[in-house]
């Protein structure tokens, strides 16, 4: 049944299926990196001195007091669960609910976590729990491996004749058309998702609230921006440009303060209407985009050169001739190399034309400029800007751009092949054992209390999933992919924790806390661990020596 009222169209209206599919995967992958890089360092504070205050009073009695071991285990579980959910063909809803619960408990269990955007991430994850479980083959069909027609008498090896090359090109073109014809719902399929409307509505409320908060006199007059930018010292390029056109500092900060309000309002309106932007798929749209995608397929070599080879060459040239000449070279060379089919596809009409498309474009530009500007200024807001950039690029970008990109990226995974498990049923348990071994080894190598215990649980779950893949052949492929995803997640966990400085931060912060509370033996142990992982020139030898002296002297 199609939505009838405006409220039904807003909450349950058709949206391009690639939006929730891509938004879920991109956000979860970003979440995994976020929790491992920004939450681990201060994890030592949880349960310190047996004191804790939760964000909500009822949690103090409903949950046990958080400890650093439980908090680190939560970080490992959330990161691994997020990667597994993102990499699986059909995201398992129970695992997504578990990730949402653990992440929400992680920030709400203690006032140590004071980042406001963690509320928003939890609401977005909650909306994800109502997203449709989409597989890329449902969106874009399967890629068939059409046999290449060989002329009579052709030898399988050696130099190809002109007829052979022409036959291969013809077959490739036919295969590309066959792939497009196999799409079950058209080039840009639609889906009904109340979860997507929940996510975009929450983001719209956040921007609207920000616009209201920025209407205060201190912000509109530019005083707040003066403090944030240290009188413009952190934005020297902007200040230089303003001075070059004869603008005073007072005028610049006044304009910046007022313009932010307009930016927030534009973003709020864009997200408010985002769930109703795409509309129903029409026959005219499908015919138009199908022909244009076939043209893109024919020009794929030129497009690859323009979008891959030329940018790399310009980056190299930039180090030789400078940034500005390299930028000019990039613009000119890309404009010449890109074929007409690419430009026609980019500006093709899609979805509901008119005001909504224009508003979405305005909101996209405002969101990108605002959050890139926030990173340029250096605001201490964690990874909030990256989440909002991902949301803007997926929710406000034309959906046929996203679909074309997703079709190209998922093509290797959508090829028709014989089921892996039907040939080797033992592969599930074998992969489960390998994943379990890697999980235990990675958790042990991380060398942070709580990580090893969580890795044991992940190892058991991986082995059980691998074993069930052989017991339940109907679910074998899906569960085997989950085991492979867990294996990849634990390898990423190992690389993330061992290559960064998070372990060093964890142990040196813990040592400082123990020292302030006169727990010198615990401080000595923590400093020794920190010294093992300290970057060059930042060893803890002085602190270790000080703790040893205090312990020997019997200092209280």
Cβ-contact 125, 99 below 8 angstroms: yes
Per the DSSP assignment, residues forming a β-bridge with 191 are: 15
- DSSP letters, 25-93, are HHHHHHHHHHHHHHSSGGGGGTTGGG----SSHHHHHHSPPP-HHHHHHHHHHHHHHHHHHHHSSS--H
Confidence (pTM): 0.84
As a whole number of angstroms, the distance between CA 78 and CA 35 comes to 8
Q: What percent of the chain has pLDDT over 90?
A: 24
Does 485 have pLDDT greater than 80?
yes
Which candidate, 299, 303, 304, 325, places its Cα nearest to that of 314? 325
Give the count of alpha carbons within 13 A of 136, CB side only: 24
The secondary element (H helix, E strand) that includes residue 421 is helix 420-423
Contact (Cβ atoms closer than 8 angstroms) between residue 464 and residue 458: no
Which of 181, 154, 209, 213 is closest to 293 using CA atoms? 181
- The full length of the chain comes to 556
Which position has the higher pLDDT, 74 or 89? 74
The pLDDT of 127-149, averaged and rounded, is 73
Give mean pLDDT, residues 139-146.
65
Return the pLDDT at 26: 95
| C-alpha–C-alpha distance, residues 493 and 200, integer Å | 30
CA distance 254 to 277: 34
d(CA 260, CA 254): 10
φ, ψ dihedrals at 190, nearest 5°: -110, 160
Whether the predicted pLDDT of 490 surpasses 90? yes
Average per-residue pLDDT for the chain? 82
pLDDT in tens, 386-419: 999 999 999 999 888 898 888 888 887 777 554 5
Alpha carbons 552 and 544: distance in angstroms, whole number: 12
**Highest mean predicted confidence (pLDDT) among 143-152, 284-293, 368-377, 473-482:** 368-377
What region does 157 belong to: left with phi over 0, alpha with psi -120 to 50, or beta?
beta
Q: How close are the terminal C-alpha atoms of the chain, in Å?
A: 74
Distance from C-alpha of 341 to C-alpha of 294, rounded to nearest angstrom: 9
Question: Within a 10 A sphere around the Cβ of 375, how many other Cβ atoms?
Answer: 13
* pLDDT of 44 over the 90 cut: no
**Distance separating alpha carbons of residues 118 and 112, to the nearest angstrom:** 12
Neighbouring CB atoms inside 10 A of 191's CB total 20
Phi first, then psi: give them for residue 244, nearest 5 degrees.
-65, -30
How far from the centroid of its chain's Cα atoms is residue 99's Cα?
A: 15
Q: How far is C-alpha 2 from the chain's CA centre?
A: 32
Segment 497-517 mean pLDDT: 86
Q: Which residue has the tokens 């634990």?
A: 490
| pLDDT, greater one: 183 or 21 | 21
- Pull the structure tokens for residue 486: 């867990």
**446 pLDDT more than 50:** yes
Q: Is 350 exposed, middle or buried (0-12, 13-18, 19+ CB in 10 A)?
A: buried
Residues 6+ apart with CB under 8 A from 407: 140, 293
- Of the candidates 485, 478, 436, 530, the residue with the CA atom closest to the CA atom of residue 32: 485
Question: Do the beta carbons of residue 52 and residue 110 sit within 8 Å?
Answer: yes
In terms of Cα–Cα distance, which of 201, 199, 209, 205 is closest to 261? 209
H or E stretch covering 53: none
Q: Which two tokens stand for residue 301?
A: 């070599």
Does residue 434 register a pLDDT over 50? yes
- Three-state DSSP at 16 gives strand
**Helical packing angle, 541-553 and 502-516, nearest 10°:** 30
Contacts of 433 (CB under 8 A, 6+ apart): 463, 466
3-state secondary structure of 411: helix
Both tokens of residue 317? Answer: 């040239």
């Amino acid at each position: 049944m199609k939505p009838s009222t405006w409220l039904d169209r807003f909450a349950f209206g058709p949206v391009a299926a690639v939006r929730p599919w891509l938004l879920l995967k991109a956000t979860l992958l970003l979440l995994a990196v976020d929790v491992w890089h920004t939450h681990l360092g201060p994890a030592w504070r949880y349960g310190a001195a047996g004191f804790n205050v939760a964000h909500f009073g009822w949690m103090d009695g409903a949950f046990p007091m958080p400890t650093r071991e439980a908090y680190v285990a939560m970080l490992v579980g959330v990161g691994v669960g997020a990667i597994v959910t993102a990499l699986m063909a059909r995201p398992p809803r129970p695992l997504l609910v578990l990730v949402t619960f653990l992440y929400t408990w992680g920030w709400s269990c203690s006032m140590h976590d004071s980042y406001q955007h963690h509320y928003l991430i939890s609401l977005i994850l909650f909306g994800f729990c109502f997203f449709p479980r989409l597989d890329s083959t449902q969106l874009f069909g399967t890629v068939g491996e059409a046999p290449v027609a060989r002329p009579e008498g052709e030898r399988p090896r050696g130099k190809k004749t002109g007829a052979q090359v022409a036959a291969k090109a013809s077959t490739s073109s036919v295969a590309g058309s066959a792939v497009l014809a196999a799409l079950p719902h058209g080039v840009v399929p639609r889906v009904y998702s109340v979860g997507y409307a929940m996510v975009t509505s929450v983001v719209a409320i956040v921007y609207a609230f920000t616009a209201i908060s920025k209407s205060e006199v201190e912000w509109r007059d530019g005083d707040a921006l003066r403090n944030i930018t240290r009188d413009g010292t952190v934005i020297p390029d902007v200040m230089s440009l303003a001075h070059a056109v004869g603008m005073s500092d007072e005028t610049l900060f006044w304009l910046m303060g007022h313009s932010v309000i307009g930016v927030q309002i534009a973003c709020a309106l864009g997200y408010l209407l985002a769930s109703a932007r795409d509309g129903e798929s029409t026959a005219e749209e499908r015919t138009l985009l199908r022909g244009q995608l076939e043209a893109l397929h024919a020009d794929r070599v030129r497009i690859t050169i323009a979008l891959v080879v030329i940018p790399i060459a310009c980056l190299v040239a930039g180090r030789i001739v400078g940034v500005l000449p390299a930028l000019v070279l990039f613009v000119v060379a890309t404009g010449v190399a890109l074929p007409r089919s690419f430009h026609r596809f980019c500006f093709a009409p899609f979805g509901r034309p008119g005001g909504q498309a224009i508003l979405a474009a305005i909101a996209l530009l405002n969101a990108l400029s605002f959050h890139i500007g926030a990173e340029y200024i250096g605001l201490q807001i964690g990874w909030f800007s990256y989440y909002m950039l991902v949301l803007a690029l997926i929710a406000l970008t034309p959906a046929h751009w996203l679909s074309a990109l997703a079709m190209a990226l998922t093509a290797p995974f959508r090829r028709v092949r014989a089921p892996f498990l039907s040939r080797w049923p033992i592969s599930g348990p074998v992969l489960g054992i390998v994943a379990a071994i890697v999980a235990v080894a990675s958790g042990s190598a991380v060398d942070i209390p709580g990580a090893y215990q969580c890795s044991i649980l992940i190892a058991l779950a991986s082995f059980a999933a691998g074993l069930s893949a052989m017991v339940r052949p109907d679910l074998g492929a899906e569960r085997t992919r989950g085991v492979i995803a867990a294996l990849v997640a634990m390898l990423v966990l190992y690389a993330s924790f061992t290559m960064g400085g998070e372990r060093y931060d964890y142990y040196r912060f813990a040592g400082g806390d123990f020292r302030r509370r006169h727990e010198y033996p615990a401080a000595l142990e923590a400093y020794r661990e920190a010294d093992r992982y300290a970057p060059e020139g930042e060893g803890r030898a002085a602190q270790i020596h000080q703790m040893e002296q205090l312990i020997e002297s019997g200092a209280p």
